[in-house]
Amino acid sequence: MVSHNEMNLDRIARRAAFVIDRTGRVHYAEVLENAGDLPDLEAVKSILADL
């Protein structure tokens, strides 16, 4: 397995997910260190369902 450092991916932007309502209030924020990981989309869906 090749690490992200060996592939020179340390300069790639991080993945992130945010849920912000119409008033600008942040309800969810997740920033991932590894660009290969995906945000918790189930958590995003849950927050959106509650808005």
d(CA 16, CA 20): 13
Written as six digits, the tokens of 10 are 């340390």
CA 22 to chain CA centroid, Å, is: 20
Which amino acid type is present at position 50?
D
Q: By the 8 A CB rule, do 47 and 26 touch? A: no
Q: Tell me the residue range of the domain where 13 lies.
A: 1-51
Residue 5 confidence (pLDDT): 56
In DSSP terms, 31 is beta-bridged to 16
pLDDT at 19: 96
pLDDT digits (tens, 9 = 90+) for 1-34: 545 555 565 666 788 999 999 999 999 999 998 8
Number of domains, the chain: 1
Residue closest to 16 by CA, chosen among 43, 2, 37, 1? 37
